[in-house]
Chain A
Amino acid sequence: MTEYRQDPAGINIRKIELFLIHEADLLDRRQYDEWLSLFADDCRYWIPLEENQKDGKNTISLVYDDRKLLETRVRRLGKDSMHAQAPHSRTLHVIGNLAVTDDAGTGLVTVRSNQIVTEYRLNAIRILAGQVTHRLQRSGDSFRIAYKQINLIDSEGEHRGIPIIL
């Protein structure tokens, strides 16, 4: 990505990319509280089941968290009693192919990206690849995440448990 598009409100795509990289880096370093602090108070974190799933209310999902459930999910990751993370996973996020639209009038920016998460745990590597949609609120010089949706390319496949955050 050599060209940085400048949107009318003065947001450039490089700045957004750096924000997403920061977000992913917090996950890879398991700084979950700091990761959660990037999210808005009425946020959504969603991994749909179906390829073109319209919503999380009428079709089941791999994950469909509102703020309350996301907080519980994050808090659990800090518990020694979390068997599914003993030992914990190591992850590596790679993010690219950003496309940004300014949602005129809403104060939100929608960012589509491709994300490949490589997970290592118990001598096994797993790839969790998908297309991600972020909706970002401008917040001072940075952003807050109002919405993060991850469409795994194998969302309808047979998954082993996914106790980590993608």
Chain B
Amino acid sequence: MGSSLCVDDIAGMVQDERVHRDVYASPDVFELEMERIFGRTWLLLGHDSQIPKPGDYFTTQMGRQPVIAVRQNDGSVRVLFNRCAHRGPMLCSLLKGSVSEFICPYHGWVYGLDGKLTSVPMPAGYPPAQSPQANGLGMIPVPRLEVYRGFIFASLAATGQSLKTFLGPVISSIDDLVDRAPDGEVEIGGGIGRHVYNGNWKFMLENHLDGLHPRYVHASSVAAANEQDDARATDGAGEVAVRQMRQNGAPNDLWEKIGLWTAPNGHGFLADYHDDEKLVKLSDDPLHVEYRRRMEARYGAERTREILTIMRWNTIIFPNVSFMSQFGQLRILRPVSVDRSVVETYVFRLKGAPEEMFQLSIAFANIVNGAGSPVLTDDLEVYERMQTGLHTDGNPWIDYARGYGRDVDTGDGMRRGGSGTSEIAVRNQFAAWRDYMTAESVEDAGGTAQ
């Protein structure tokens, strides 16, 4: 192990209904998470629509390691460590761009889009047996890469679960998102937002499947939205926002009825949250009528009805993804340290759908993900207070007992919370967390449901 922690220490931090604060507060635990979770599981890096043409690339990090996702000349995608084989500088310093080759800024080594070293200056300077080519130097591809319906997943471990096994039943949430596009494809559009909070990365994953918090955390925006005069001028953006803020104040019994499912490996999703009728006034809205027409032209009436009634809300793919199909939202989580986390926010365009639907998704992103959102800012505040509060002595435990013992097996490795405010999702995330963190090797990790 990379730290002083032993398996028993880690296992002891996670109990059935509570976890020890060290899971959020200990730098040693964080180091081990980088090794055993972010260093082993599948991580979502982005979507292949971000790099449509050969040479298009974007840069990101897997755990704390900089990588480049780049479109190849043959149309495939590669993910390479963002490092020159000579003395190590990052080859790409921009968040995105388009190149025909990678050229190191230090001594001019040149690499193809596939990462192979194509030239070094004055090669005669090397004894032939020690030339960079003879030594097999080049940019290194990440050990594993799989693209599912455009979603680029990679793993820093050479072996382990296949992506499909890893995703398990929550793969249906990705399908739910992509199937909503009349052309059967989605694309990222509208920029990448970024926010950061001084708190542990796991807080966000827990929060996105937390049906109890909206009325309390978001009390101020609920109250302000409820008092809003609907006659005031809006171009649609405010309309979407105010409606969503009010929704957070729904009565307790509505939250209790929300479907909250968990899956192996820490994943889970909320469903039956809003039906389309409530949220988008879909049936009579001319925009929806046109959208439905395009869907039916492609899929037929029966299949269209099926697709549009799935009604997933947030889906968590542990450890770095939160997305939402109905409004095409995606958040990718990037832990920086035990008490600092960056969140990247994306919006999907449903190809073939009316462009106004994408604009509604943009408006929705602003209200749930914008750094200035009247909703998000209160979540971030609470994450930061958690990080401070759990350092107090006296009670080292964090409690997740709500709904304990009432979860129901629904088959397919899934479980449903006894109610929509159950803390089943957190218990499930920590069951996976403990499993990953106590596995001495990749082969031992994965597959656990609580």
Contact = CB atoms under 8 A, between A and B. Distances in A.
Interface residues of A, number: 40
Nearest to B382: A83
B374 A67 contact: no
B370 interface: yes
B140 interface: no
B207 to A, nearest CB: 13
Interface string A16-57: 000000000000000000000000011100010110010011
A77 to B, nearest CB: 8
A107 interface: no
Given A58-B358, A83-B220, A68 B194 contact: no
| Most chain B CB inside 10 Å of its own CB: which residue of A47, A67, A70, A160 | A160
Contact of B378 (A63, A72, A84, A160): A84
B374 A59 contact: no
Interface stretch (A3-11, A95-103, A135-143, A151-159): A151-159
A13 B237 CA distance: 33
Contact of B224 (A47, A57, A65, A72): A72
Interface residues of B, number: 53
B359 interface: yes
A160 B228 contact: no
B175 interface: no
B238 interface: yes
A61 to B, nearest CB: 5
Interface string B8-23: 0000000000000000
Contacts of B234: 66-69
Contact of B228 (A64, A75, A81, A83): A75
Interface string B196-232: 1110000000000000000001011101110111101
12 contacts: A49-B191, A58-B358, A62-B371, A64-B237, A67-B232, A68-B228, A79-B219, A79-B224, A83-B381, A158-B196, A159-B371, A161-B195
